[in-house]
Amino acid sequence: MIDFDDPTLHDRLFIHMSANYLTKKLPDEAIDWDEGEIEEFVERHVWEPLEYTSADIVVDMIASAAFASRMFFRQEILRLTCND
């Protein structure tokens, strides 16, 4: 069973979702990076349509996508496992 309260779940989804906004997905070790290191990576690898968007905004976009994914999967698993 998936533990949606696992504190690393959002971080792992954040890394995975970064591939939708960057030309190169954040590496797995980015889970231990500070905000500055993440923003630096984002600046170097931002997807061309977002190249004039500040790194902190792109990071927020990735975080929002990760949060929405977690909420979607939580809702779907609850729906599929509910025995009403």
Per-residue pLDDT at 83 exceeds 80: no
Structural domain contains residue 2: no
Q: What is the pLDDT of residues 4-51, one digit of tens each?
A: 778 788 899 999 999 999 999 999 999 999 999 999 999 999 999 999
C-alpha 45/C-alpha 36 separation (Å) is 14
61 has a pLDDT exceeding 90? yes
Q: What is the pTM of this model?
A: 0.87
Range of the domain at 43: 7-81
Query: Into how many domains does the chain fold?
Result: 1
On whether residue 1 sits in a domain, the answer given is: no
Residue by residue, DSSP assigns 26-54 as: PPGGGGG--HHHHHHHHHHHB-GGGTTS-
pLDDT reading at 84 higher than 60: no
